[in-house]
Amino acid sequence: MAVATERISAQFDGEFIISAKVLQEILSMTEVEGEITLIHSGSKILFTFGNLLVTTRIIEGVFPPYEKVFPKENEIFAMVDVDEFKNALDRVAVIAKETEHQTVNFLFADECLKISANSYDVGKAEENISAEIMGGELDIGFDFNYWSDVLKVVDAEKITIGMSKSLAPVDFQAENFHYVVTPVRRS
């Protein structure tokens, strides 16, 4: 699960839920900075910007308390460079894609993040990147797609990874982006 927050100046007081797909469409149409006008009317909301007008229905109900999904108490923290992490993960993914569960192993230890994958049919890949690690060591496995997906959209130089144990959810934060990844059980 990922949460991205952005502060905007608005003259609007209230909350509503709309489809993420609609929001992505609107954002793709508003490449140029400018004003977006929101008009709320019953079960619909109208977005106007430039000479475009987009109407969508508001999703009924209350958004689930997603904050409860994020780990409350992490014991181990690592800070890594996003580009270095993404590049290392991409190289190891070549082998991980050939495994049954597309698993990559992360070993956080000695100011280093060791990313590895092992396929009995293809071979082994291992990459080491520098990391600032506080609180101890941890060896943990993930489906590489979860990390790959988030690293494609994060717009930051560094990320902070918060962990507690090998099968507990991992907390990933970068500026206005918060993501939680569940590890996989390794055999």
Please indicate whether residue 146 or residue 50 has the higher confidence score (pLDDT). 146
Under DSSP, the state recorded for 148 is H
Please indicate whether residue 116 or residue 169 has the higher confidence score (pLDDT). 116
Please indicate whether residue 3 or residue 50 has the higher confidence score (pLDDT). 50
* Average pLDDT of the chain, as a whole number: 84
Cβ neighbours of residue 3 closer than 8 Å, sequence gap 6 or more: 66, 177, 178, 179
Could you tell me the pLDDT band of residue 84, with boundaries at 50, 70 and 90? very high
How far is C-alpha 3 from the chain's CA centre? Answer: 7
Q: What span, in angstroms and rounded, lies between the C-alpha atoms of 76 and 137?
A: 7
Could you tell me the pLDDT band of residue 3, with boundaries at 50, 70 and 90? low
Please indicate whether residue 139 or residue 39 has the higher confidence score (pLDDT). 139
Tens digits of residue pLDDT in 5-28 = 666 666 666 777 888 888 788 777
- pLDDT of amino acid 6: 63
Confidence check: pLDDT of 51 > 90: no
Could you tell me the pLDDT band of residue 181, with boundaries at 50, 70 and 90? confident
pTM over cut 0.75: no
In three-state secondary structure terms, 42 is coil
- pLDDT of amino acid 157: 93
